[in-house]
Amino acid sequence: MITSDVATLKSMLFLAAVQKYRARVFILEALNGATPERKAELIVEAFDTMVKICRERPAPLVWRFNEHNKPVAVDFKNKLGLLRRQAKTNWGMT
């Protein structure tokens, strides 16, 4: 999956689905506000790196490409655990 939506990293449901379905997600921050042509260029530029990551690392995974199209691994399992703990606390389910 390719997206520009950084807010997905704050969604417990999204991150749980990534884990459950062993998805590979790439967040390309530079897509925000780009023209359709530039979006296509950015995806093509990142494509080889995304394929390499998929070959070298097991799913599930989330990688974030910064505004300069440099990849950084996201520890989404840690984020998911934190969101789950916060939800339990907020709902009084300690």
pLDDT digits (tens, 9 = 90+) for 44-64: 999 999 999 999 999 999 999
SS3 label, residue 90: helix
The predicted structure's pLDDT at residue 80: 94
Q: For residue range 2-14, list pLDDT tens digits in order.
A: 999 999 999 999 9
CA angle 60, 62, 64 (to 5 degrees): 165
- DSSP secondary structure of 11-42: -HHHHHHHHHTT-EEEEEGGGTT--HHHHHHH
Q: Tell me how far apart the terminal alpha carbons of the chain are, to the nearest angstrom.
A: 34
Taking residues 9-38, report their average pLDDT: 96
The reported pTM is 0.89
pLDDT of residue 90: 81
